[in-house]
A and B are shown apart, each in its own frame.
Chain A
Amino acid sequence: MTVADSKFFAQGNVYVPHIAVIEKIVEETPGVRTYHFNFKDERLRKEFIFESGQFGQYSVLGTGEATFCISSSPTRPDHLEFTVQKVGKVTNALNRLGVGAEIGFRGPYGNSFPLDFLKGKNLVFVGGGIGLAPLRSLIWNIIDNRDIYNKVDIVYGARTPADLCFKYDLEAWDKDKTVNMVTTVDREAEGWKGKIGVVPKILEEVAPPAKDTAAIVCGPPIMIRFTFPVLEKLGFKAEQMLTTLEKKMKCGIGKCGRCNIGNLYVCRDGPVFSYAQIKDFVSSEY
């Protein structure tokens, strides 16, 4: 599936959002929250499907619309989740909403992580800060279908221990014997027992072998830029490196123009790309 299924159009119009209700709010870090939500429409609640990596357009009606990935896993479909940092107009308006408030949702949009390609491979997840949100959807997806994938390494970091998102997931993955969880923070901090150093550096230490492996990278642009060369050094080919990108979007469906990287629209052709697809443009456009 590369685009939203037309049966998910509200009122037959691709731009009209569905009304959804916030069911739970989780404070991840100061400024980052995960919102659990469900559609108001019962039929949609049952029929809505998506894949790990896809995103939605979320409305706070009256304030506007913004783009966030779905951070929950399709293997756990009783509700949907998205995770945002309070940095702009819409995310600030979201921050003022409580449980029970209504938001708008259009989607799911964009492509998804290529599960067929990942099947049977070793997987290395490389995440930074809130960039764990889309990876998390895939990580739970894989843990829920654990036997069809090989080794799983997760290298995740944030500036400080307080900036680590999804601490409850990190704990669960740390306990999971089938997953190698490596958590790092940029600088030493009191009481911190994990690694110290930026994510690309720790990834180099962990040094996952490139053979039969796929790396899935998401984080701030600067982390992504420094991670690809490390992977290359470890022997990864451009086709083995996947990332999911974030750009300013308005329409989400390849028409409003602004989210392109070269000839590719992040909304229409992504958000999941292999490094091979974007390397001509990524150095100077991302």
Chain B
Amino acid sequence: MADKKVSKKDIAKLLKEWSQQFAVLAPSKESGVAAFAEWDGKDTGFLDWYRNTVIPPKASFLPPMEEMFRFRKGKEGYNIEPPPNDENKRLIFGIRPCDARAMSILDMTFKQALEDPYYLSKRKNAVLVGLGCTNPYESCFCTSMGTGPTESADVDIMLIDIGDDFLIEEVTDKGKELIAKTKDLKEAAKDDGAKAEQAKKTAYDKVTRKLDTEGIKDKLLASFDDEEYWEKVAAKCISCGICTLLCPTCYCFDINDEMVKQEGTRFRSWDSCGFPNYTKMPMENPRQEKWRRVRQKVCHKYEFYPMTYDVIACTGCGRCIRLCPVNWDITQVIESVPDKTGAKK
């Protein structure tokens, strides 16, 4: 079957068509920062300004704040009403490969043991349409983290910029079905494949930041008790939590209740291992000191997640580097972990 392509000037038409059966989410600056938001039905200006969103696409599946259920206290006691599962069909248009990989990483946590109904009901009906990067940031290091600026492994459909058009790669069955049903796509020309290969190579070459993660899991394990090292790593951190809240693979959440008179809501909200209250119990706090919290953040991504799921929970999106107010840099940290693997049993 011949490949399809879509002209850049026809993207609005394409999204309109997809809007018939999906809630289409596309990059938007409507809220003040770049984030995926319901597409407004016309604007494709993001094709010009969009490099990556500040708020990662996980927010469409694990919202910053989400109602879990409502309850009411009546004469017969409490009555609890969970909301119906949100099975809206979402189409995320323009997700970057790093963030798509992050979704695959998040899936592991929400699927394991007992399934999380809020996340998975949204996720299972979602279509991810990836958009290959042409202009990665200096802080990006995706090519060192098992993905890359045009990698299609974690999306359903991938679009590669070949000039006036996007060449369409149909990745999953879900993606193939959608493309088969989509009208008005153009047949790719003979040399479009070669153009896409060239575009990919150019994009890969633009990701200049590299990170060597060879043996990192064992190195971190051997250096876990190196307080001096962690103190040094944590020195400038101000515990603002941005690197975790806006990390596309971070999933930690808090659960709280609100109740007015006889009616209440239980909701969950993003939380961060960078906050001292995160692990605080009434009588003690195992991570009262900042260095313990920074260690947790680093080790969770590069040591504990690999121990559990055999994958590093970092995709090199670079947000934690770009958005850190004190220029804390995960790649510098990972590169400076002392190698004590030979010293410890």
Contacts and interface: CB of A to CB of B under 8 A. Distances in A.
Interface of A: 2-4, 6, 10-17, 19, 40, 59, 61-65, 87-88, 91, 102, 104, 220-221, 246-248, 250-251, 253-258, 260, 262-263, 268, 280-281, 283-286
A87 B284 CA distance: 11
B110 to A, nearest CB: 6
Nearest to A253: B114
Contact of A284 (B82, B117, B225, B282): B225
Contact of A257 (B78, B253, B284): B253
Interface of B: 68-69, 71, 73, 77-78, 80, 82, 109-110, 112-118, 221, 224-225, 227, 251-259, 264, 266, 268, 271, 273, 278-284, 286-287, 292, 296, 299-300, 303-304, 307-308
A258 B307 contact: no
Which of B73, B110, B257, B278 has most chain A Cβ within 10 Å? B257
Q: Ordered nearest first, which 8 A-B pairs have the shortest CB separation?
A: A62-B259, A257-B252, A87-B282, A263-B307, A263-B304, A88-B282, A253-B114, A250-B255
Given A13-B69, A87-B282, A61 B78 contact: yes
Contacts of B71: 61-62
Contacts of B255: 15, 64-65, 250-251, 256
A40 B271 CA distance: 33
B271 A15 contact: no
26 contacts: A3-B113, A13-B82, A14-B114, A14-B115, A15-B118, A15-B266, A16-B80, A17-B80, A19-B78, A61-B259, A64-B255, A65-B255, A87-B283, A102-B77, A104-B78, A253-B114, A255-B109, A255-B116, A256-B252, A257-B251, A260-B304, A262-B304, A262-B307, A281-B224, A284-B292, A285-B286
Given A61-B264, A87-B283, A254 B112 contact: yes
Given A11-B82, A281-B224, A285-B286, A250 B300 contact: no
A252 to B, nearest CB: 9
B286 A286 contact: yes
Contacts, number: 136
A132 to B, nearest CB: 16
Contacts of A87: 282-283
A17 B71 CA distance: 11
A205 to B, nearest CB: 28
Given A11-B80, A256-B255, A257-B252, A247 B114 contact: no
Given A13-B69, A221-B284, A256 B115 contact: no
A65 B273 CA distance: 19
Contact of B221 (A63, A258, A280): A280
A259 to B, nearest CB: 8
Contact of B280 (A2, A248, A281, A283): A248
Contacts of A17: 80
B281 A6 contact: no
Which of A2, A13, A40, A63 has most chain B Cβ within 10 Å? A13
A249 to B, nearest CB: 10
Contacts of A254: 109, 112-114
Contacts of A280: 221, 224
B225 A283 contact: yes
A19 to B, nearest CB: 5
Given A10-B80, A257-B271, A64 B113 contact: no
Contact of A256 (B221, B253, B281): B253
A256 B272 CA distance: 10
B80 A248 contact: no
Contacts of B300: 257, 260
A40 B253 contact: no
Contact of B264 (A12, A62, A88): A62
A16 B257 contact: no
Contacts of A284: 224-225, 227, 292
Which of A2, A4, A87, A248 has most chain B Cβ within 10 Å? A248
A12 B69 CA distance: 13
A64 B256 contact: yes
B250 to A, nearest CB: 8
Contacts of B253: 250-251, 255-257
A105 to B, nearest CB: 12
B77 A19 contact: yes
A256 B271 contact: yes
Which of B69, B73, B114, B118 has most chain A Cβ within 10 Å? B114
Contact of A19 (B80, B258, B280): B80
Contacts of A10: 80
A268 B69 contact: no
B225 A15 contact: no
Contacts of A263: 303-304, 307-308
A258 B257 contact: no
A284 B224 CA distance: 9
A247 B284 CA distance: 10
Contact of B251 (A62, A220, A255, A260): A255
A15 B273 contact: no
A248 B285 CA distance: 9
A159 B197 CA distance: 72
A8 to B, nearest CB: 10
Given A3-B114, A260-B304, 13 more contacts: A3-B113, A6-B114, A15-B255, A61-B71, A62-B259, A246-B281, A250-B271, A253-B116, A255-B251, A262-B299, A262-B307, A263-B304, A286-B286
